[in-house]
Amino acid sequence: MTNYTDFPDLANVYLEDSFVLAIDETPTSLTFRLEAVLTSSHPRYHAPRPDEAHCYADAVLTIAEATKIEWVTRSSPTSRDATGEEDLGNIDSLQRHDNHYEIAGDWGHVRIYSSAAPNFTLTSEATNPSDPHGNTTA
């Protein structure tokens, strides 16, 4: 078994406190849209803003090249944060077993059969502490 922090793309991310904003599924991939927590080792880390517990960044986490996606349980409860934004909870665990990934959280539990490594990509400059909306300046 391999824990998510052993994958290079996820080594500097803390999924347990990251928020799942949406889950997108295709026949060959599963993508989590996240408000991800970046650890202090991440190159885009900054000190948390006064109203935040962590350094957050908009990101996507994808397991691609899936030969099978098997939902063990599926739930769609949403939570609202102090600003009124909805989310699906966190990713409580992401582990690689012999031939599949096991991923679980409040939103459900899924097995993804794939040999591809997880791909984690930041989707904005949301880690810019001078702009809480993630806008960049030229």
Q: 102: exposed, middle or buried (C-beta count within 10 Å: 0-12, 13-18, 19+)?
A: middle
Q: Could you tell me which of 2, 9, 37 has the C-alpha nearest to residue 121? A: 9
Q: Which residue stretches of the chain have pLDDT < 70?
A: 77, 80-84, 124-138
What global pTM score does this model have? Answer: 0.84
Predicted pLDDT at 119: 96
3-state secondary structure of 54: coil
Predicted pLDDT at 132: 40
Predicted pLDDT at 81: 61
Predicted pLDDT at 113: 98
